[in-house]
Structure 1
Amino acid sequence: MLPTWLTEEYLQPRLRSYYKDDQLKILRIWAKPATGKGDNYVGVIVRVYVDYQQGDGSVQNKSYIVKQALTPDVPQAKVFYEYDVYKREMDMYEFILPKMKALLQEAGLTGKLTADAITVDRENSTIILEDLAQYKYINTDRVKQMDLTHTKLTLDLLAKFHAASIVLRQRHQELVTDCFFINFFSLGKKGYTEVFTGLFRAFLRFIDGQPQLKQRYGKKLEKLNDHIMEYGNRIYQVEENELLSLIHSDCWTTNIMFQYDDSGLPKTATAIDFQFSNYTSPALDLHYFFATSLREEVLDKESELVELYYNALKQSIEKLAYKGLFPSLQEFLLQFERRRFMSLLSNLFKPVIVYNGSEQSSDLSNLYTENEEGLGFQKAIYDSEVVIRSTTRFLAILDSKGVLDLQ
């Protein structure tokens, strides 16, 4: 269903401006939901279909993605407003991403970074984007997760994104406003304290029901319970000798789209959804992406993947004529390892990402609240052999590296 304000009169001048065609005339407009239940918690996303006539008389049939902020009365919305989520994404599409795109093009780094914004409407807290489906971009299956080929394309995309953002901050400091230094664990913010501590309690309840995991890791995890936000804040801090870049901050299967060649192999990747982007260590994007989105056999290649990403980042930064310190591979590996705690935090989302049961929920709070509905949903998403196997694997790795010990 179309928002009441999204009329032909509203959209026509904006399409005229975007296509640079003062004679463009909308003939018909209609809409369908663009996401399924449980695929998006942050806003309302609608796919709008438009038939329009160009100034030369030709008729076009195109679709667009309309992203609108949740209204303040929606229970989970208060968290997003507290963290400037909607303003941040509007700033990304209106100011940051176009500049990053231009920097990459100037350096000869091709590929579509993200969808173009047709318009950014702050009055209606809405962004209208070109529909990447028209260019045959699609998502991989979040339940099956990414194979090695998709993973490598995503890492190459992240490397370009991070490199462009480093140079952007050097050349256009005025665009990097305060909202880009707010993260989930920022001091003085409360909303995500409830989210992450609730997610961790749900995780502890799951561990409590797994005798072997409880015996091996239960006491250590219980001790960590009071330090989740403190340690989370710590890994977002960047020292002077470390890389500081804009990160996607929500890089998982649903937010990366791929084009395929005629034989069905992925050939290019692009990113969507930048509500949480902030300046910190690019290593955090890697940990989050690895923990939420990769198949187990791909995760086994972690050191190879980090080196592949590092080489792509170095190549991109050199083509962008970056003037500044750049870490050696060994130095970057240390930066990556210092933020291993992000792997634990990211894995808190894994159960809902790989869940494919009938009990879907569009309410973020059901992931962590302890009412009847929330506890029922948490039980459903954790009741999975995949989750048990995945948890067993990542806890063993984290424990061997000392991440489960109090710091």
Structure 2
Amino acid sequence: MRLPFVAILSDTMKLIEIRKIEEILLVDKPLLTHKVNGSVAGDDGSLLVNVELRLKNEKNFEEKFEVVAKLLAPSINGLRMESFKNELAFYTKIVPLLEGLLKTWGAEPTESFPNYYGGRLTLNPKIKETDRDAVFFLENLKTSGFQAVKPHIGFNFETTKLILRELAKFHASFLAVKLRKPESFKHEVRPYVNTVNDPEISVDDVKQIVSLMWENEGCVSLIPRVRRAMSCRRSTPREPFATIIHGDFWTSNIMVKLEGDKPEKMKIVDFQKFTYDSPAADLVYFLFTSLETPVLEDNFDELTDYYYKNLISALENFECDVATFSLGELLKEINIEAKNVQFPRIMMKLNTIFDSNHTEERKERGWFIVQEFAKRNWI
């Protein structure tokens, strides 16, 4: 009997098969058939495939169920394979650990992650490393009513507050594990975090950004500061705030569900870069890559304060001692991240946020970021 498989055409036009799909799908109904409805290349060396499953329900009727399959692109390298392995571990080991502890503590379960429906690193029982048969299945958030915002537009004020509230809970939940269950954190979480890699910045990249500054009278005098700031000076994660962070927290990795025009829920996706670092890394990167510019320009201090209050509230709900988690210390974290790490990451992201149809918006955002960082003495 031929085993079912999912086939797609990658960007290299090579046929990719997900073999023995029925052996790893975590669904409570028998699989009858499946169909691939499309695929998209991720910006992390992965392929995302929409898969329509046909299941047999309790009344023997056919029932449609849609999932997203994530797999490796054919040309992926060893580092990306390791990141894929860690992302799978996030869903199979870390999320269940976190949910179990939250339940034990009587805290509300986290709802920020898509549901997981099975996966594997390989079909070879003799190895434990990632190979071309690696795949995992997640909830199709679009069919669950979630939507993404266009990166060049960004989030409005109300949606930003929802996202910051959930981001604070995400950071706080892992801080709680670190503080209340340090051995579990050390042995069941830390082994899977990714090594932080600074962005590769070429001489041409710096020239492009400097050239952009020459086009704005208010930025010309800041060019020497921009040049200096375009090199990362990453430091060791600092206590007590260091926690598990997403590592690539921006519009494309956030989906929101609306009730009418009001944002009600959000989901975080793509955990290939999750790591142990300052929560300010996620916070600064998100604020400067993912908001409508007027929202950030008018509300930066209010939004950072809102994030902090929700972080403390979540830690208190997890019965953690918050004495050392002062607003002043968080602001120090923000300053360190903004000065030493995030500026080049944010500036390099502009070409991803704004495509060739939005060159003027890219320029205006770049000028705003440089002037804002200079005003706050971050560059």
> Normalization by structure 2: what TM-score?
0.83
- Aligned letter for 1:332? L
Comparing 200-209 with 325-334, which one deviates more in the overlay? 200-209
Compute the displacement of 1:213 (Å). 6.0
Q: Deviations over 1:110-134 (max 9, x none)?
A: 5522112211211122221121223
Match of 2:127 in 1: none
Compute the displacement of 1:291 (Å). 1.2
Maintained 8 Å contact 1:163/1:317: yes
Q: 1:258 aligns with which of 256, 259, 275?
A: 256
Q: Deviations over 1:224-256 (max 9, x none)?
A: 45xx13x1x12xx2334x311100111111111
Residues in 2 aligned to 1:322 and 1:280: alpha-carbon distance in whole angstroms = 19
Tell me, which stretches of 5 or more residues in structure 2 are unaligned? Answer: 1-5, 9-15, 123-132
Match of 1:31 in 2: 36
- Aligned letter for 1:121? R
- Aligned letter for 1:336? I
Q: Decide which structure has greater strand share.
A: 2
Match of 1:364 in 2: none
Task: Give the superposed CA RMSD.
Answer: 2.6
Residues in 2 aligned to 1:57 and 1:349: alpha-carbon distance in whole angstroms = 53
Q: Deviations over 1:263-300 (max 9, x none)?
A: 23211111100000001110110011011101112112
Residues in 1 aligned to 2:91 and 2:211: alpha-carbon distance in whole angstroms = 39
Residues in 1 aligned to 2:313 and 2:219: alpha-carbon distance in whole angstroms = 45
Match of 2:22 in 1: 12
Is 1:80 the counterpart of 2:55? The answer is no
- Aligned letter for 1:397? E
Compute the displacement of 1:92 (Å). 0.8
Match of 1:335 in 2: 333
- Aligned letter for 2:288? A
Compute the displacement of 1:63 (Å). 0.9
Match of 1:119 in 2: 118
Match of 1:135 in 2: 144
Compute the displacement of 1:324 (Å). 6.8
- Aligned letter for 1:352? N
Compute the displacement of 1:180 (Å). 1.6
Comparing 334-343 with 249-258, which one deviates more in the overlay? 334-343
Match of 1:156 in 2: 165
Aligned length: 350
Q: 2:211 aligns with which of 206, 211, 226?
A: 206
Compute the displacement of 1:338 (Å). 2.0
Q: Deviations over 1:328-365 (max 9, x none)?
A: 1222222222221344123224423432446xxxxxxx
Compute the displacement of 1:97 (Å). 1.9
Residues in 1 aligned to 2:61 and 2:377: alpha-carbon distance in whole angstroms = 64
Is 1:176 the counterpart of 2:189? The answer is yes
Residues in 1 aligned to 2:79 and 2:210: alpha-carbon distance in whole angstroms = 24
Maintained 8 Å contact 1:200/1:348: no
| Percent identity of paired positions between Structure 1 and Structure 2 | 19
Q: 1:276 aligns with which of 273, 296, 306?
A: 273
Compute the displacement of 1:323 (Å). 5.0
Q: 1:318 aligns with which of 313, 316, 319?
A: 316
- Aligned letter for 1:204? I
Compute the displacement of 1:33 (Å). 2.8
Compute the displacement of 1:321 (Å). 2.0
User: How has the CA–CA distance of structure 1 residues 303 and 205 changed in structure 2, closer, same or farther, with 3 Å as cutoff?
Assistant: closer
User: How has the CA–CA distance of structure 1 residues 356 and 323 changed in structure 2, closer, same or farther, with 3 Å as cutoff?
Assistant: same
Match of 1:217 in 2: 222
Match of 1:42 in 2: 45
Match of 1:91 in 2: 89
Residues in 1 aligned to 2:257 and 2:135: alpha-carbon distance in whole angstroms = 26
Maintained 8 Å contact 1:104/1:110: yes
User: How has the CA–CA distance of structure 1 residues 132 and 104 changed in structure 2, closer, same or farther, with 3 Å as cutoff?
Assistant: farther
Q: Decide which structure has greater helix share.
A: 1
Residues in 1 aligned to 2:18 and 2:73: alpha-carbon distance in whole angstroms = 16
Q: Deviations over 1:36-57 (max 9, x none)?
A: x6x6343111011111103542
- Aligned letter for 1:40? D
Residues in 2 aligned to 1:335 and 1:223: alpha-carbon distance in whole angstroms = 20
- Aligned letter for 1:28? T
Compute the displacement of 1:34 (Å). 4.2
Is 1:61 the counterpart of 2:36? The answer is no
Compute the displacement of 1:141 (Å). 1.9
Maintained 8 Å contact 1:93/1:120: no
Residues in 2 aligned to 1:279 and 1:297: alpha-carbon distance in whole angstroms = 31
- Aligned letter for 1:80? R
Q: Deviations over 1:145-178 (max 9, x none)?
A: 1101111111011111111111233422211234
Maintained 8 Å contact 1:291/1:350: no
Match of 2:345 in 1: 346
Compute the displacement of 1:402 (Å). 3.1
Q: Deviations over 1:184-218 (max 9, x none)?
A: 23xxxxxx4xx234684254353365263663122
User: How has the CA–CA distance of structure 1 residues 210 and 281 changed in structure 2, closer, same or farther, with 3 Å as cutoff?
Assistant: same
SS at match of 1:340: helix
Tell me, which stretches of 5 or more residues in structure 1 are unaligned? Answer: 186-191, 359-380
Residues in 1 aligned to 2:116 and 2:80: alpha-carbon distance in whole angstroms = 21
SS at match of 1:63: strand
Residues in 1 aligned to 2:247 and 2:188: alpha-carbon distance in whole angstroms = 18
SS at match of 1:196: coil
